[in-house]
Amino acid sequence: MVSRTSISPARPIDAARARGDVARSPAVRRTLIVVLVLNALVAFVKVVVGIRTGALTVLGAALESSLDMFNNVIGVMLVRVASRGPDEDHPYGHDKFETLGALAIVGFLSISCFELLREGVSSFMGRRLPVSVGSVDVTVIVFTLVINVVVVIYERRRGRELGSAFLLADAAHTGSDILVTLLAVGSRVLSGSAWPHLDGVLAIMVALIIAWSGYRILRESIPILVDERAIAAEELKSVVLAVPDIRDVRKIRSRSTASGQLFAEVTISVSGSRSVDEAHRLADAVEEAIAREFGTSEVTVHVEPA
């Protein structure tokens, strides 16, 4: 049996993609730094106004923005680790550290979801006391809402462009902050209305929206962490069988990383009369075929006699 392992040669378009993968991690870090600066601005404004006015609601919002900053700092460090190449302890690279960061954000979302549900139930039971909001509070809320909307739009767009699970998860977390802030404004408006319990209904609705966001992040992250197959076996098999002189495909395994790199293991059978050199040539041909079809990949090909 002949075993062959290499990084697949790629077409010009795939080579360009490979160069893009090299620049991906710095681009993700730059995006997080921009978001960090914007969150720092929001936190600074809230702290200044909160100290001057003594408004606990604003100081509480400042703490929330500070947690966003902390999350961004953690993200920068995790993405830096994820950008490292393979080493002796991590032969497949460090990409999964970015996915772990996305799961950490799910933890923050879970806390927000729990607090909102608790507040919603308290409102139904009539235990929550109304809180007055002054004009300064409203001005700060509107200002920070605008910045947060910009952050969500920018971070979500960059996350899709770079294929970053962490950026998309962080955008979802900031989006939940916007919903919470809007809920706070709405609850104050409704506090004196004829629907006092509508505040609790809104809280529960927002909690469910946040829970859905967390579920979507888990749905994208868990398959990578548990090495779910990246490509259907039949699809990969058809690509391999299209290579001339391949008799059969006996075994196929595949998985992918957060950056989209494909890892595959393929066992092929060829005529027993083939020489070792010919077997290696067929292994190279299989690697090239997979690279042409699926992009940047690292393929292990095992050759067995038919």
pLDDT digits (tens, 9 = 90+) for 164-176: 878 888 888 788 7
pLDDT at 64 over 50: yes
Q: Is residue 153 pLDDT above 90, yes or no?
A: yes
- Longest CA span, the chain: 88
What whole-number distance in Å separates Cα of residue 285 and Cα of residue 283? 5
Q: Per mean pLDDT, which range of 15-24, 73-82, 219-228 is the poorest? A: 15-24
State the pLDDT at residue 197.
62
**Residues 177-186 pLDDT 10s:** 777 667 666 6
Q: What confidence tier does 19 reach under pLDDT thresholds 50, 70, 90?
A: very low
Q: What is the mean pLDDT of the chain?
A: 76
In this prediction, residue 34 carries a pLDDT of 92
Cβ neighbours of residue 116 closer than 8 Å, sequence gap 6 or more: 180, 183, 203, 204, 206, 207, 210
- Is pLDDT at 11 greater than 60 in this prediction? no
pLDDT greater than 90 at residue 154:
yes
Contact 68, 183 (CB under 8 A): no
Least confident of 51-60, 148-157, 213-222, 240-249: 51-60
Question: By CB neighbour count within 10 A (0-12 exposed, 13-18 middle, 19+ buried), where does 87 fall?
Answer: exposed
Residue 87 to residue 251: CA distance in whole angstroms: 27
- Please give the pLDDT value at position 83: 78
**Mean pLDDT (whole number) for 17-30:** 65
In the predicted structure, residue 194 carries a pLDDT above the cut 60? no
pLDDT value at position 112? 72
Cα–Cα dist 272/306, whole Å: 6
Phi, psi of 261 (to 5 degrees): -75, 135
Burial of 13 (0-12, 13-18, 19+ CB in 10 A): exposed
Assess whether pLDDT exceeds 50 at residue 18: no
